[in-house]
Structure 1
Amino acid sequence: MKSLLSNKRGVWLCAVTFVITATHAFADIKPDSGDYAALPAGTDLALLYQQNPRIDKAYSGGQRVANNLDLDLTVEVLRLVHFTEFFDTGYIWDPQLIIPYGHQDLGATGQKNSGIGDVTFGATLWTLVDMARNRHLGWSMFITAPTGADKNLGFALSNNRWAADFQVGYVHGFDEHWTWDVIGETEFYQEQRDTGAHRDPLIQLHNHLRYNFTPQTSVALSYRHNWGSRETLDGQTLQTSHDNGTLGFSATTMLGKQWQVMGQYWRDVTVRSGPMTDNSVQFRVAYIY
């Protein structure tokens, strides 16, 4: 009996560790509706995000491996963006810096962590900017550095490895009201620095169907899906490949000429691998100067 209880406890702790290491994506700023619409050169943005995902279940290979985790995350992210001309080519690009900070409370074990997460820097280069028809094509590269606090203690905002994220995004305005944003993304990972665990590339597809009531106010229905990201160590699978889908709704409006606010609600609708977000309420405030 003692051996059986010990084995169950080991499985539970492994599941908890799996969930925490899989939640790093919450510190990642995914492309929102309108993000791939270029702004004029000389524009600067300061954006502040807050994410509040709630997680109770986790899956591996399509099977539930943890329940009643009571994982509560509060994540704030500061993002600084500068739009400028790309070296006298006539193209626009936007060098930027992304700094996450958060608090993690895992009710199942009583574990708490807080601090700065992994910092990301990079830019988008637009090769198509048609302001009149609202059509834009941008190519992005972002590098994430393992700068986060508590790297080896399961802090969700740090994955303790370098990562390179490549994206291509297209915005198509059908008329003055309807816009479709589609973004393809592939992320590559270094081996984890403390364990040597290997992670396969992650492939993601983001879709945002946006309705613009006015040029200042819009709502969007969004769907994201990701594949890959299988993680192994010494030939053993730590995390199975993703085949996960997330549905979201957002509303955005301008407050005057310099302030923009966005509210979002996200919910996972299918999870093959990783934590399942029952609901996540997110907010974004942008200052344009």
Structure 2
Amino acid sequence: MKALLHKGGALPCSLFLALCASPALADVRPDSGDYAALPPGTDLALLYQQNPRIDRSYMGGKRAADNLDLDLTVGVLRLVHFTEFFNTGLIWDPQIIIPYGHQEIGATGQKNSGLGDITFGATVWSLADMERNRHLGWSLFVTAPTGADKNQGFALSGNRWAADFQVGYVHGFNERWTWDVIAETEFYQEQRDTGAHRDPLIQLHNHLRYNFTPATSVALSYRHNWGSRETLDGQTLETSHNNGTVGLSATTMLGKQWQVMGQYWRDVDVRSGPMTDHSLQFRLAYIY
């Protein structure tokens, strides 16, 4: 497909909204340590703050839009409960994820605020060796199209149902080093207002974590995703992804019940979709 935006040109409105509403913009992806099971009876309340900044978007490896000036401020509430999985002796963690945010697109002057698409689901651990820090978890998350401004290109709402399957493994080499790897596949319903079809998205997450102490760690992360081509009536709205992202995070406990995490993320290779120049993220967790 030919480049859709040239100097002095204009990006078709439908495609511009599709670029800005990419599900890669604002969501809660598995962080380092997320696939380590906690004892049954543990509850978590997590607050996320995400601030991605996006100026460019790509299609088929070519720049499709410049100077988008898309600024997102996203808050996410995540509630998690660890318990026994139906008297099997296994651990699982039913949970709900509720995003809320404000979006401003400088290129058009459009502003949106409101509730995003709510996600609910759980992980079941077939391996939870807390002594050696080795865990294997299997997850299913379902996202409902509950977000505000569904038809206005709001990045927190895809206006479609989605099912996300994940398998994550945590391997503790010793007291200092841990490697987390998570494979993920997400399937999408056709978009409810337009009927646009999106192919499944495949993602691979890697986190190499170094523990200075049992309470404080840093992690170097790399994420890559493929697929998620979107079409409407034979026209390509978004080509298949082949995108890579790097991140650096630091985590520490504040007492016995509070944990804080700070992260920096940057896209390093984008074949399709918006490119995040930089994103600062923070997470506050209360353990009870």
Bin of the TM-score, shorter chain as denominator length:
over 0.9
Kept in 2: contact 1:79–1:99 (CA 8 A): yes
Kept in 2: contact 1:253–1:261 (CA 8 A): yes
- Deviation (angstroms), 1:12: 5.4
Determine whether 1:21 maps to 2:21.
yes
What is aligned with 1:102? 101
Determine whether 1:81 maps to 2:74.
no
What is aligned with 1:231? 230
Number of aligned residues: 283
What is aligned with 1:212? 211
Distance 2:130 2:171 in 1: 11
What is aligned with 1:200? 199
TM-score normalised according to structure 1 size: 0.96
Q: 1:76-107: CA deviations, max 9, x gaps? A: 00000000000110000000000000000001
SS at match of 2:38: coil
- Deviation (angstroms), 1:108: 0.8
Kept in 2: contact 1:51–1:281 (CA 8 A): yes
SS at match of 1:25: coil
- Written as runs of structure 1 = structure 2, the 5 A alignment for 1:1-289 is 10-11=10-11, 13-22=13-22, 24-289=23-288
Q: What residue identity is the alignment partner of 1:79? A: R
SS at match of 2:19: helix
- Deviation (angstroms), 1:11: 2.7
TM-score normalised according to structure 2 size: 0.96
CA RMSD, Structure 1 to Structure 2 (Å): 1.4
Distance 1:96 1:46 in 2: 10
Structure 1: segments with no counterpart, 5+ residues: none
- Deviation (angstroms), 1:15: 5.0
Kept in 2: contact 1:199–1:229 (CA 8 A): yes
- Deviation (angstroms), 1:13: 3.6
Q: 1:196-220: CA deviations, max 9, x gaps? A: 0000000000000000011110000
Q: Which runs of 4+ in 1 moved over 6 A?
A: none
Q: What residue identity is the alignment partner of 2:18? A: F
Q: What residue identity is the alignment partner of 1:227? A: W
- Deviation (angstroms), 1:236: 1.2
SS at match of 2:21: helix
SS at match of 1:19: helix
Distance 1:138 1:14 in 2: 39
Kept in 2: contact 1:12–1:66 (CA 8 A): no
Distance 1:9 1:76 in 2: 35
Q: 1:97-130: CA deviations, max 9, x gaps? A: 0000000000111000000000000000000011
Q: What residue identity is the alignment partner of 1:29? A: V
Distance 2:10 2:190 in 1: 25
Q: 1:235-257: CA deviations, max 9, x gaps? A: 11110000000000000000000
Kept in 2: contact 1:15–1:65 (CA 8 A): no
Kept in 2: contact 1:47–1:80 (CA 8 A): yes
Structure 1 or 2: larger helix share? 1
Distance 2:160 2:13 in 1: 22
Q: Percent identity?
A: 81
Structure 2: segments with no counterpart, 5+ residues: none
